Amino acid sequence: MEWQGSRRLFLKRGIVFGLTFAGVGALIQGCGQSPAGGDAQKENKAASAADPCSDYTGLTEDDIKARQHLGYVEVSPVSDRQCSNCNLWLPPPAGNPCGKCQLFKGPVEPGGHCTYWAPLAQQAG
């Protein structure tokens, strides 16, 4: 009888110890991780503070692929061909350093460039 009592106690303590160990492990693991995309969001926030024209918050993966497909770069390799003197450029509103492009979504550097750069159309007059 005494043996059954100690066996029952042993199993009880084993279950309690196992559950405690699993709970502590899950807690430690949970503390070390952020929600999906957490690191990317932190990096994006840091980028947006330093350079708001690199803030792609709100853009979908397809939007970003469209930018890449057109060969958009933030610094033009051709000094006299920049977004700010492109016919597809949409100038920034007052107080915002970033413009936009008619071909894709998101902020655009005035000094940027892509393979679709087009000279400003001559004004009729």
Catalog residues that contact ligand SF4 under the rule CB under 6 A.
Answer: 72, 83, 86, 88-89, 101, 103, 108, 112-114, 116-117
CB of 102 to ligand SF4, least distance (A): 7
CB of 88 to ligand SF4, least distance (A): 4
Nearer to ligand SF4, 12 or 69 (CB): 69
H-helix segments, the chain: 2-32, 38-50, 61-69
Nearer to ligand SF4, 77 or 125 (CB): 77
Determine the Cα–Cα distance for residues 31 and 42; give it in Å rounded to an integer: 17
Lookup: tokens for 9: 């106690």
Nearer to ligand SF4, 46 or 62 (CB): 62
Q: For strands 100-101 and 89-90, give the pairing.
A: antiparallel
